[in-house]
Amino acid sequence: MSEKPIGKVTHFFDKISVAALKLEDELKVGDHVHFLGHGADFKQTVDSMQIEGESVETAKAGDEIGMKVDEKAKQGTEVFLAEEESE
């Protein structure tokens, strides 16, 4: 499985376990992401994401999204898109 950078955490809302991400590339619900850095190292599936409080299925480069995360992801944590290897 290869990974490509997709964005960075710009804010983490501890009480509701939501990370705000600034995207560098497209991200879709159902994609697998890897949070790495600043004490974080975990992978999860994007179950849902929001832009300015509205649920969206797809977000593009430059968008700021919020997504529920399984673990803490501090500001500056890098986010990678985990891509399935094609054979």
Q: What is the CATH number of the domain that holds 67?
A: 2.40.30.10
| The overall pTM is greater than 0.85 | yes
In angstroms, rounded to a whole number, what is the distance separating the alpha carbons of residues 16 and 31?
21
Q: How far out from the chain centre does Cα 21 lie?
A: 6
Is residue 16 assigned to a domain? yes
Number of domains in the chain: 1
For residues 21 and 8, is the Cβ–Cβ distance under 8 A? yes
Is residue 67 assigned to a domain? yes
Is residue 19 assigned to a domain? yes
Is residue 41 assigned to a domain? no
Is residue 36 assigned to a domain? no
Per-residue pLDDT tens digits for 14-58: 999 999 999 999 999 999 999 999 999 999 999 999 999 999 999
In angstroms, rounded to a whole number, what is the distance separating the alpha carbons of residues 12 and 67?
10
Cβ contacts of 2 within 8 Å, gap of 6 or more: 82, 83, 85
Per-residue pLDDT tens digits for 51-82: 999 999 999 999 999 999 999 999 999 999 99
| Domain span at 9 | 2-30+47-83
Is residue 54 assigned to a domain? yes
